[in-house]
Amino acid sequence: MPYPGRPVLEVLPEFVATASPRQTAEQRARLLAFCVEQYEAGRSLRELAELTGRSQSAVRRALDQAGVQRRGRGAQPVRGPVG
């Protein structure tokens, strides 16, 4: 029995047609703020790339530019109940 495919996220309306080498300062600032906020809330690089219409490398560079420390690869360990 094959696993179901994962859903692909749609690009958010605020980021449609903004992925270009000549972004305005406002577009870049909005991208950085969104990526930082969502990454720190737990979204993955892949999810952010899909939501913003960018590549994972572009999202990684944006997070680096913002000074965000990235998480390690793979799923985060699940913490069981203590005690």
Measured distance CA(28)–CA(38) in Å, rounded:
15
pLDDT tens, residue by residue, 28-54: 999 999 999 999 999 999 999 999 999
Tokens (6 digits) for 58 = 């572009």
Q: Is the pTM of this model over 0.85?
A: no
Domain-by-domain residue ranges, the chain?
A: 24-65
pLDDT at 3: 86
pLDDT at 82: 61
